Amino acid sequence: MAQQLNITTEAIKSTPPAIVTLLHAGGMTPSDWITVLTLAYLALQIGLIVPKYIEKLRGWLDREKS
């Protein structure tokens, strides 16, 4: 079990450098990386905030019906 945990830990540690290497090999410049990361961050933020606003809207609509 400890061996499996070590393998998983090391795989997680090596993931970011592997991604950077693949992106560089694919021809992406650092400015391209920043653009992609910014868009990913923006998508995550939108994905986190939309459910909150939907819940608030539903609560507001339920109060209006009452």
Q: How far is Cα 22 from Cα 24, in angstroms, rounded to an integer?
A: 5
Q: Which residue has the tokens 């560089």?
A: 24
pTM: 0.51
Read off the pLDDT of residues 19-62 as tens digits, 9 standing for 90 and up.
Answer: 777 777 778 787 888 898 899 999 999 999 999 999 999 999 88
Q: Residue 50 belongs to what domain range?
A: 2-65
Q: Do residues 33 and 23 make contact, with C-beta atoms less than 8 angstroms apart?
A: yes
Using CA atoms, how far apart are residues 42 and 56, in angstroms rounded to an integer? 21
Does the pLDDT of residue 8 top 60, yes or no?
yes
Q: What are phi and psi of 29, to 5 degrees?
A: -90, 165
Domain count, the chain: 1
Residue 48 confidence (pLDDT): 92
